[in-house]
Amino acid sequence: MASPIKAPPTSLQELIKGLWRENPIFVIVIGLCPTMAITTTVINGLVMGAATTFVLAASSAMISGLRKAIPGPVRISVYVVIIATFVSVADWSLAAWLPEAHKQLGAFIALIVVNCIILGRAEAFAAKNPVVPSIADGIGMGLGFTLVLVMISAPREVLGAGTFLGIPLFGKSFEPWVIMVMPPGGFLTLAAELSLLAWWKDRSEKKKAALSAPLQEAV
């Protein structure tokens, strides 16, 4: 997995773009089901993100390696078989070595199969690119997904349970804001963060326009 770092900058760029500029949740806005469902605690977000990153990287590698051998009409079926294989690998590995986290995430690990980030990256990237950039793309998208899961689960856990990574923060007098760990809290947090991001983007674009305007007039 160290190859994308040593590889030419193109692969590194493929990795970095998933973190922010083409972030799967905040920018492409896909894969929202697990984002809503499991972000009640930070540790859930981290484990889910790690499992998804593994599945993304491994299936991207295999799909990219076989891309010339897979006939077009059956490519989706082959992708799903490959993705399902690595999801089972992730599922069993978690059950064997992190039983507590596996129990918490329950069916959502198996549901990575239908996470559209993975099939989306297979179709949009791995099917058209060599192995190394595909792995980089998979890892980047996975890390971007993990980043957002942590950004959503942190306020939810802190406000809704008064803990961070399971460590109590406020003492006994704290009354948890329970709605934050219930489904509406997920929507509220995602909406708040998406609108903050949109406001920030809008503001920086206006700034850029204001800076370049006098120049254009001068020319």
Residues that bind another protein (CB under 8 A): 40, 62, 66, 69-74, 77-78, 81-82, 84-86, 88-89, 92-93, 95-97, 99, 160-161, 176, 178, 181-182
The C-alpha angle with vertex 203 and arms to 202 and 207, in degrees rounded to 5, equals: 120
Instruction: Indicate the residue among 89 and 154 with the shorter CB distance to another protein.
Output: 89
Instruction: Indicate the residue among 120 and 177 with the shorter CB distance to another protein.
Output: 177
Instruction: Indicate the residue among 83 and 190 with the shorter CB distance to another protein.
Output: 83
Rounded to a whole number of angstroms, the minimum distance from the CB of residue 84 to another protein is 7
Where does 7-130 have alpha helices with state H?
9-19, 32-37, 42-65, 75-97, 99-105, 107-110, 116-121
Rounded to a whole number of angstroms, the minimum distance from the CB of residue 76 to another protein is 11
Q: Which two tokens stand for residue 9?
A: 């900058």
Q: Which two tokens stand for residue 207?
A: 């700034």
Rounded to a whole number of angstroms, the minimum distance from the CB of residue 40 to another protein is 8
Q: What is the DSSP string of 139-156?
A: HHHHHHHHHHHHHHHHHH
Rounded to a whole number of angstroms, the minimum distance from the CB of residue 70 to another protein is 6
Residues in the chain: 219
